[in-house]
Every structure is written in C-alpha cells, then in structure tokens.
Structure 1
Amino acid sequence: MREPANVLHCGGSSPAVAWSTINAGEAIPGVVTTLTWSVFGERTERGLRGAFADLGVLTEAQVARPARPDDRVWDIFYGRAAANLETFRSLADRMPGTSGDAMESQLFGTVRPGVSSRPRYQRYPVVAAKAPMAMWGVAGRLERAAEHIAPWWRNTVAAAPGMTADQARGSLDAAMRKFAGVMRPHIVASMLCQGVYEQVRAAAERANRPGLEIAVLTGYGEMAETAFVGDLWDVSRGRLELVEFLARHGYHGPNEGELAARVWRLDPTPLEKLLGHYAAMAESAGPRALETARAAEREAAEQELLAASPRGARTPAGIVLKVARRFFPLRGIGKGAFLQCVDAARASALRLGVLHTEAGALSAPEEVFHLTVEELAAPQLPAGVGDLVASRRELHERYRAIELPEFWLGSPEPVTTPPAAVEGPVVVTGIPVTPGVARGVARVVRDPEVDEGPAPGEVLVCRTTDPSWAAVLIVSAALVIDIGGPISHGAIVARELGIPCVIGTRDGTARIADGDLIEVDGSAGTVTVLQAGDAVRDGGSA
C-alpha cells in the first residue's frame, strides 16, 4: 500500500529545475484529493507527451511517464499540480513557429528574468513532416470524440445510482480510457493554439499594429466555453427547462476539475441566483447578441491587420487567420469532453462509495475521494482502508492550510507569512487580454464552492477560472485573474463576451479586498483600487 505522501506529494526535484503552479492550477486548482490526482496525474502526463509526439517534438518511445520528476511535464507538490517550466521550454524550443519564451509567456503569463530561448533545430525536419498531419487531423479527432462522449456521459450519470459494484467499476474504467483518449488530441489543439497566437501576434507586430491580436482572436461564434451560457439564458427566458439544461451541461460547476466537487447536476443551487440576474437583463445583453457583436469586431480587426501588413506578408497572415478561426474553438471542445469523462468517473466513484458504505467498509460515500482509481477498481478495498482514508484526509487538510510560491527551483518551501502591506495607492498589473475600461465593486472569489459570486455590475477578482465561470462573467463588469495567460480559458471567454479583462496579476486576490471600488483597464493591463471597501460600504464616493 502506498503511503499518503506519495499520492499528493512529489518525491523531490533537482535545484536546477523550475516549477510553477501557474496554468497547472487552471486544470485542477488548489489542493486536490487523492482520487483527482490519480485520474489526472499520469494520464495527463502521457497526454502532454503524446501530443508533443504527434507534433514530432518527441518520439513515441518518449510518451511514457518518466521515472524522475525532473523529466516530467508536470507533477504534484503538497497536493497542488505544478508544471515543469524547463521541460515546457525545452519542448517549445524544438518547434518552429514558437519558442520557450513564447510558451512561458502565453501559458504562464510571464518570462522569468535571466532565462531565454535556446532553439534546437534537430527535430525541425520531423516537426515539419508530422505537425501538419496532426494539425489537420486533430479537429476531426476531437469532434468525433465529443460526439461519442456526450451521450455516453449522459447515459452513465443517469444509470450510476442503480449500478452494481461490477458495473460501477466497469464505468470507472471506461471513463479513464476515454479521458486518456481525448486528452492527447485536446493538448495537440492547445499547443497549436499557442503557436497560432504567437504567429498572429508577430503578424500584428509586422503590420505595426501591436496588440491587435487581442481583437483578432475572438468572435468565433458559440464556442464550447460559452454555449451553455446561451442555454442558461434560455432557461431564464422560459425557453428551456432547467432539467434539460442539466442534462446537457450538468457536468459543469464550481471547481469542476476536482472529483469531490458538487457540480450542477448534483447541486443546481448556484444557478438559482444567476437565473434571477439573467431574467432582469435586457435581451440585447444576452450572450448570443454579444457573440454577434464580437464576430463583427473580429472581422473588422482581420481586415485591418491584412490591410496594414506589408504586401509580401499578407498571404501568410491570411493563412494564419484562417487557421486561427478553425483551431481556437477546438480547445473548448476537448476540455468539455474530458470534463464529461471526469464527471462520469465522479458518478461511478460515488456509486462505489455508496455500496462500500452499505457494506460497512467506508463510513461515508465521500470517502472514496481519498482513494486512488486503482484502489477503487480492485474487487476489494485495501486492508485498513479506514486508517488510510483518515491519514489522507488529514494530509489533504494540512496541505490546504499552506501556500506555495508561484515559481520555485527544486522542491518548494511553503509560504507561511502573508505578503507585506503596500504603502500608497494599490495598482495591480497583469496581461491585457480584453480591451476596455470598467469600474465596479470588487467581488473577490477564492473558493467558488464557498464564496458568493458577483452581482450584476461587480468586478470578479479570482485566482483562476474553469469553464463554469462563464456563467457569471456575463453579469460582471470586468474580470481580474491571478493565474493564466492570453490563451487561458478565462481570457478566451472574456474576449468572447467583450468583458474588460486583466489576467496573470499573480496577487490580485491578495491585494484587492472584497468590496473595494476598482477600475480595470483591459487595454493597459492595470487594476487600480479607487476606494477601500469600508468606504464604499459606508456610502462614500470615488
């Protein structure tokens, strides 16, 4: 039997290797449960490495998860997923059209001082041969997977309450196979989006229109990240029943990447207040109206880019824009499909939890979240499972009480002291990803399962986002995110909805207090505290 620390804590890393919780936290934020990491850990590693093999950067023999943490793409430290920056940079430096600097900037929001790209040209011929095949094949792979997984997910969660133990274990196994199968093409699409973003950014620079890529890479119509917002809008208008909405989108919800989370099909309560907000809004403020406006803005930005480009660069720029229109919507398709696999695993695991509780092996069904997939898949739970669950639960709670730095070398030192107070006006800086200026009262959300979401006109300030957050963005005046880059899901959704957004602030949730009156400049990448929350609540003015 594995010790708990081996489940939620990496065995250590060389002092020369840099790690970061940024971006990895977008997939599974915060301290995860044992079951969640046993689903995501090795399967996502293989998906990441498999994607780079499809692109020609790695060989197929290099897809297996390396034994040494230093050689992995990601791992877990104190219960938190972290990305290996050295591995990511090394892989990007082997690809034409991007670089280690571009990868770190777009996926992690910054390039650390003292590091620079080191292009490695040995794999360029292989990438040149394999990447086009991967690029033109990935859309079909993801679309076919999504068409298959969606009805399978609906059938699985509907049948789960009546499953036998063997059926639940079989369903859990199917969920793991489908998760692994969709993760690889999903990451191929994500990596291609990163490369396309870099090419569009470079085209805007050549056209002497820096920053125009923000307007170009939006307005693609009803994307997977925003499709359910349109359906929820229809529920608020009485055009769709809530039960049908949950049958389509019930796998979404607060912290949906965590298997222990209460997604909407288990608890639709978070939707009730949102539906009230939606009902009070004008039809012209609805998601479909916003998407139409964004599409027109994108088309105008594309024409501006082409017209301003040097004559010899117009044809290549046109090709890149066409590729962007095809590939940017794919990220949401892949993420939706693997989240449905996660929810099917959640339903199967909970059913096993009920059966094991009825048999007296567990004290409550939710204890399954402190077991691994392999332990649940076995005909019998491990001997001494009660003590094992208790020790892992205690470890999980202990990890929740500490913080990790955003970047570190080797093994991290937990952060035990709060950041020092900053004298003078508070101005938080980040990456501008949606232009526009908005003022509003800050609603700081650190844990979406506990903290109340924004009221209409408030500014959502959060650590990271998952797709379910799109539902609250439509009522928000602006969005401020600590973690992520210009192609993170939060940035994509904010652009689609036309909401001023600054991402990659690092410490926005620490420096901005709930109730502060703030101004978000999504063009400059700044967030200014205009008035402290106490003064706002007391009726003061800016």
Structure 2
Amino acid sequence: MPGQSTAHSGYFVSTKPSDRFPLWTRANVGEVFPDPVKMSTFDFAFQNDDGIRMSELAFRDAYVAIGAFTHDEFDPDECVFLGVFGGYTYLNAAVGRIFGVRAPEIDVETVDRNFFGEQPGIPPYESHPDDENSEASQRIAETFLYLFTAPALPDVFDDEQQLAQMRASRADFEQMGDHEIADWIMEHLERGFTGGTGFRELFATHLRVSFLAAVPLGVLEQVCTAVGRPEDTLKLVAGYGDVASAAPSDAMWRLGRQVAASSELTALFNDGPVGLSARLGAAADASGSDAAAFSEAFEQFVYDFGSRGPNEWEISCPTWETDPDIALAAIDRMRLAPPDADPERRRAGLTSQREALSSAMSQALAGNPEAQMQFELAQGAAAVYLPGRERTKTNCVRFVNETRVASRVLGQRLIDRGAISQMTDTSMLRFSELHELIDDPTGWSEVIAERQAVYDDAVSRQEPFVIVGEAPPMHEWPRRDEIELLALSAGDTLGGLPGCPGIARGRARIVLDSTDPTALEPGDVLVAPLTDPSWTPLFVGASAVVVDVGAALSHSIIVSRELGLPCVVSATGATGRIPDGALIEVNGDTGTITVLEV
C-alpha cells in the first residue's frame, strides 16, 4: 500500500533553513523554476532520504572549483545553496555575498545587483567573522587570472558534442520494461554519458561558467563608468551571434518567413495554433506542397531545439518536442513580424556597433595602459564566457529532456492501464514510489490527488521574494487573485533595472504564459512576469521588453541584448500595474517605463 516507503503521503517538499547562511531569494532561480517544484524533481535534484542531491551538490562543486569555499564549510546533511519553501525554489544570497567579500575586485553590492536586480525589502549585508578568508581570496584570484586568458571553453564544447551523440543514439524506450525505464531515468541523471558525466557535473559546469561570466561584465561596467559612459556597457557585449538560448529565434524566423510567403501555410496558421501540428501533418501528405516543405524544416527544428520549452528544467513540463504546438504558436506570432525584424540582420548591426565602440574605448584609454589592458582582457573574456553561459545552460536542458521523453513513454503506459489519469501524475511521486506504483497502483491515485491539491494551493499563492531565516508558513502567503496592485495612469512611471539600452514606444501586451502569445502583435511591448528561452521567439516582433523580476545576467537581458531591444527588468508589479493595451515608452538607458496613453 502507498505510504509504506515514506512517513506520510502529503506533499512535503521543503528544506531546513540554514542558520549560517539565512538569506534566500527568488531572484534568478525564479527563471529556472517559476512554479513550485514537483515531488520527483525535489527527489533527484534537492534532497531525499539519502541526503542532499544533485543540484545542491553541483552548486557546492562550482563554488569550490572557483576557489571561493572548501567543501567542509557547508553542512553535509542539509541544503545550503538551494532552499525549497512552500514548494518554491530559493537561492541562497548570503553565500553569494560571501563570494563578493572574498573575491578580488568584486564587492557585496556587485553581487547583490546580479542576485536581486532592483527589488524592495533586501536586508543590508551583515558581516560574519568567517566571511573573509585570505586563502579563498588567493584561490579566486588564480581563477580570475585563468578567466582573463582562456581563449575558449573546450570542456563545454566536449559536453555539447557528447550530448549531440546522445540525442542521435537515443535509447529505444518503447522496447524497455516499466521498471527498466524508471531505473534508466535515475541512472541517466546520475551518470549520464561516457566518463560519468551526469546532471551534477553538467550543472556544476553551468554554474561555474555563470559565476565567472559576471566578472568581465563587471570590469567593463567599471571602465565605462570611470570614463562617464556607463550606458555603453551592454553595447560592448552585444551581437556575439553565438548565444545558444537565442539560436532558436533564427530558425523560427526562417520558418515564419516560409509561412508568410505561402498562401497555403498562411491559411493553416490563420485557423489558430490549437491543433496546428495535426493540420500541417494532414496537409503535408500532398507531395510537393508548401506544407510538406514546412513540415520537413519544422521536423529538423524540433530535432535541434526540441528540448526547449516553458519551465524546461522541470521534467514533467512539455517542450517543443513533446508538444510541437507550443513552438508553432511562437512561429505564428513571428510570421507577422516585418522583414526588418530579422534577428540576423539586427545582430549584424549590433556587432558593427560593438566593434566600433570597443575600438573607440580602447583608443580613449591609450593614455592609461593598465586600464586599456584590463578593458581589452575583459572584452575577450566576456566574448568567451557570456555565450558560454548560455551554451552550458542549453547542455543541461538537452540532458534533462532525455529523461522527459523516457518518463512520457512510461507515463502513457500507466495512463493506458488506468494507473494514473494524466501525464504529470508521476511527477507527484518520489522515484522509489514510482516503482511501487508500477507493481501495484492500488491507492496511489488518492495519494497523487492529495499532493496535487497541495501543489495547486502553492501555485495559487504569491511566494515571498526574499526570506530571512525561517520562511513564513505557506497558509499565510497571500493568494494571487486577492492581491490588488494600483494600476498606472497616463503620465505615471514605473522604475526598474536597465537591461538593454534604447528607447521604444508601443502598446503594452501583458503575456503571462509563453504558450499562449496570441495577443502579441508586431511592435507591441512584451510585458512578462519572467522569461526563459521559451519566450525568446516572442522577443523578435516586439519593440521592447519589460519583466517583473530579473538581474544583470537574466535571460531577458541576454536575448534583448542580442536583438537590440530596449529592456527593463526588475520592474516590480509591471504585469499587474501596466494596463494591457496602454501606449507606453520603455527607456532601457534609465530603466523607466512611462505610460503615455491608457
């Protein structure tokens, strides 16, 4: 019977708060896990009966690899870097602040900007006797020296090639038994491909590269500020053309142009995105048709980018491979964009601007050889590590997607047998419980329903952005539909963090779900709660982007930078305060949004 393998059947995903590192934030991690984590994800990534798990361990590995800490500084039994409260994932900002104390040329304020963006209620830093550590500072300095001289990230490219081979030789899950699939999923997550590279190792690489990517960006910001041109910082890191999370936009753009040039395809898309993949498939049966050519190109797109999707780190959530209509909905919006929205054309202009600005800045620093060398080294490191950060993230997501495909084969079998009612039901189980359900489904539907009810309650509530010490009990969190925000009127402004420079005007379109972008028209300003790569195609036709949360290395800033879109992040309450359809002006230089007309 259910419950024999665990003390209780309730939805119990939570971690113990850290006494040594008591500051937690939803900043940054909210883009990775916008929703509460599912039971199965908590089981493999955060903590289970065997102790702390892969995501937490990866954070420790990354910080130790950089030299900021040693493993013995962390609690061996409880999560330190990642906390889960009320089902929501939190990142430990106190540990990040210690990195700011120990790292040369970095301070707590710099770390806070990267962690929090511009958010209210952030407590000031309070020092601890163990924060400063000269040995750690020396280790970090050595890491930084390597950072500024590394011409490439060969380990990242090696992982990418192995993942491509893994996708090409995907296991035949249909031929596996139920227990065999369940075991394969855990084996894959823990050991992955040749050499024992599993999720922990891939995620640690992503975190290490992400931490280091902030360093050259910070140096460029310091140099630009020193010469009175702080607004040029992001222009100096734009138009790289090798940003993995922006790459699907190029492919989608070409697919969108196919649709725009074909009356047959246009008619199919005009009937709406729901069921579009089925209609395209039926039309593609006619040899030589535009639908056939499109379907062939779209099939290649799904193969190349199918691991992307909303909440793509969560195994139970659909991706462009498991639900192609999600990708087609984005292409549907992109087909309406004018030709000058071509992301490759935009990027070419940004590349020229970056190269000219870089040359001018270097010449301006000629009288100060030390500052000039620092600037040029930072430029080179940024060109390696900023695109590298997105590449490592893509590697992780592609790796996770293989488990998603496997779990859906198993899930469909369980649905066919009546053991569960929907594909996401297995995500409410720990992996050990999944084996129990396979053997005997009796009673598990009640357990799943109970946990789903708790999960749904968490989804309905607004989690705190910052937690200090103990988290307030979830029943005290306000329900989202009961939160009243004062709507902005004509002439009102809302402040945030400048994400990408430039000024644009357009109609505000509040889009809360990247899978349903039908209201977004070319030239509109995309106003979103947060963004992950599934939102990227929606940027292409927009005139600007505004996001409720975000910080210096947020996805929305990275993609806006590659497309040259004015962007403001950390615009607290933007999706609730900016009236849908209002004419607004987005100033990416100052981080302000002005309502011009309601």
TM-score w.r.t. the length of structure 2 is: 0.81
Change (3 A) 1:404 1:364: closer
The corresponding residue for 2:49 is none
Matched AA of 1:418: I
| 1:133 shift after superposition | 5.4
The corresponding residue for 1:421 is 486
Change (3 A) 1:4 1:450: farther
Q: Does residue 337 of the first structure (1) align with residue 345 of the second (2)?
A: no
Q: What is the rounded CA distance, in whole Å, between the counterparts of 2:444 and 2:538 in structure 1?
A: 40
* More divergent stretch after superposition (281-290 vs 506-515): 281-290
- 1:315-354 matches, within 5 Å, as 315-354=373-412
* More divergent stretch after superposition (23-32 vs 2-11): 2-11
Q: What is the rounded CA distance, in whole Å, between the counterparts of 2:495 and 2:440 in structure 1?
A: 50
| 1:452 shift after superposition | 4.1
The corresponding residue for 1:314 is 372
- 1:84-483 matches, within 5 Å, as 84-110=92-118, 112=122, 114-115=124-125, 120-130=133-143, 132=145, 136=150, 139-153=153-167, 155-156=169-170, 159-177=172-190, 178-238=198-258, 241-309=297-365, 310-312=367-369, 313-376=371-434, 380=439, 384-413=443-472, 414-416=477-479, 418-421=483-486, 425-449=491-515, 452=518, 454-483=520-549
Residue deviations 1:418-470, cap 9 Å, x none? 24526864321111121111111111122334564622111111111111211
Change (3 A) 1:325 1:418: same
The corresponding residue for 2:586 is 520
| 1:102 shift after superposition | 0.9
Mark the structure with the bigger radius of gyration. Answer: 2
Matched AA of 2:469: G
Change (3 A) 1:366 1:406: closer
SS of the aligned residue for 1:354 comes to helix
SS of the aligned residue for 1:460 comes to strand
Matched AA of 1:415: P
Q: Is the 8 A contact 1:49 1:62 kept in 2?
A: no
SS of the aligned residue for 2:230 comes to coil
Matched AA of 1:89: R
Q: What is the rounded CA distance, in whole Å, between the counterparts of 2:209 and 2:27 in structure 1?
A: 20
| 1:122 shift after superposition | 3.7
Q: What is the rounded CA distance, in whole Å, between the counterparts of 2:326 and 2:519 in structure 1?
A: 9
Change (3 A) 1:134 1:325: closer
Q: What is the rounded CA distance, in whole Å, between the counterparts of 2:166 and 2:505 in structure 1?
A: 44
Equivalenced residue count is 528
Q: Is the 8 A contact 1:99 1:119 kept in 2?
A: no
Q: What is the rounded CA distance, in whole Å, between the counterparts of 1:289 and 1:183 in structure 2?
A: 33
Matched AA of 2:407: A
| 1:471 shift after superposition | 0.9
| 1:508 shift after superposition | 1.1
Q: Is the 8 A contact 2:329 2:518 kept in 1?
A: no
Q: Is the 8 A contact 2:151 2:384 kept in 1?
A: no
Matched AA of 1:409: V
Residue deviations 1:171-214, cap 9 Å, x none? 31244132222101111100001122111111212233222211
Q: What is the rounded CA distance, in whole Å, between the counterparts of 2:396 and 2:32 in structure 1?
A: 11
2:553 to 487, 491, 494: 487
SS of the aligned residue for 2:581 comes to coil
Matched AA of 1:31: P
| 1:60 shift after superposition | 4.3
The corresponding residue for 2:33 is 28
Matched AA of 1:96: P
Matched AA of 1:200: L
Matched AA of 2:445: G
The corresponding residue for 1:55 is 66
Matched AA of 1:124: S
| 1:127 shift after superposition | 2.4
Q: What is the rounded CA distance, in whole Å, between the counterparts of 2:516 and 2:337 in structure 1?
A: 25
Pairwise CA RMSD: 2.8
1:73 to 64, 74, 81: 81
Q: Is the 8 A contact 2:38 2:428 kept in 1?
A: yes
The corresponding residue for 1:537 is none
Matched AA of 1:82: Y
Q: What is the rounded CA distance, in whole Å, between the counterparts of 2:362 and 2:444 in structure 1?
A: 63
Structure 2 residues not aligned, in runs of 5+:
1-5, 47-52, 191-197, 259-293
Q: What is the rounded CA distance, in whole Å, between the counterparts of 2:429 and 2:314 in structure 1?
A: 14
| 1:217 shift after superposition | 1.5
Change (3 A) 1:286 1:53: same
Change (3 A) 1:457 1:137: closer
SS of the aligned residue for 1:148 comes to helix
Q: Is the 8 A contact 2:504 2:587 kept in 1?
A: yes
Structure 1 residues not aligned, in runs of 5+:
533-542
Q: What is the rounded CA distance, in whole Å, between the counterparts of 1:311 and 1:380 in structure 2?
A: 72
* More divergent stretch after superposition (330-339 vs 401-410): 401-410
The corresponding residue for 2:269 is none
Q: What is the rounded CA distance, in whole Å, between the counterparts of 1:130 and 1:521 in structure 2?
A: 37
The corresponding residue for 2:566 is 500
| 1:277 shift after superposition | 4.1
Matched AA of 2:470: S
Q: Is the 8 A contact 2:338 2:522 kept in 1?
A: no
| 1:131 shift after superposition | 5.2
| 1:8 shift after superposition | 2.4
| 1:380 shift after superposition | 4.7
* More divergent stretch after superposition (116-125 vs 360-369): 116-125
Q: Percent identity?
A: 24
Change (3 A) 1:13 1:380: farther
SS of the aligned residue for 2:221 comes to helix
Q: What is the rounded CA distance, in whole Å, between the counterparts of 1:162 and 1:104 in structure 2?
A: 50
SS of the aligned residue for 1:397 comes to helix
Q: What is the rounded CA distance, in whole Å, between the counterparts of 2:410 and 2:527 in structure 1?
A: 37
| 1:52 shift after superposition | 0.8
